[in-house]
Amino acid sequence: MPLALPDDLRDLLSRPSPCVITTLLPDGSPHATEVWVDVDGDHVLVNSVDGHRKVANVRRDPRVAVTVLDPDQASRYLSVRGRVVEVTTEGAADHIEKLAHRYTGRPYRWYGGRDQVRVLLRIEADHIVGGF
């Protein structure tokens, strides 16, 4: 059963918080990458590019872990284990612009060119833990 996201996690997800998503490679080993993160209702949102390893991984196996660090307190973090319940292109290009302004204060630089296909990974939480 999916969990409601606590307010302290929603707060971190709404700020320019460092974040790492871990997906599973075909052999079952972990693949961790830094990402920009957001929240939508009770879902964690990660924006990526179609064709990147993490996207291929979640299409094959939707289980993920996301760790969000407090940018103001280095020892504070919250981790979410869950699964990607949707991979969509709808709104993803606009969403990366929103995240770029949040994280850098500028428009997104479109590394790799504007022909890349942006995707949103919508993650439902099954387990949440925190460290302080």
Q: Rounded to two decimals, what is the model's pTM? A: 0.93
Question: Is CATH 3.30.1360.10 correct for 7-131?
Answer: no
pLDDT tens for each residue of 63-75: 999 999 999 998 8
CA distance 108 to 50: 17
Q: What confidence category does residue 27 fall into, taking pLDDT thresholds of 50, 70 and 90?
A: very high
pLDDT tens for each residue of 91-116: 999 999 999 999 999 999 876 666 78
Helices (H), the chain: 7-13, 53-60, 92-104
Residue-range domain boundaries for the chain? 7-131
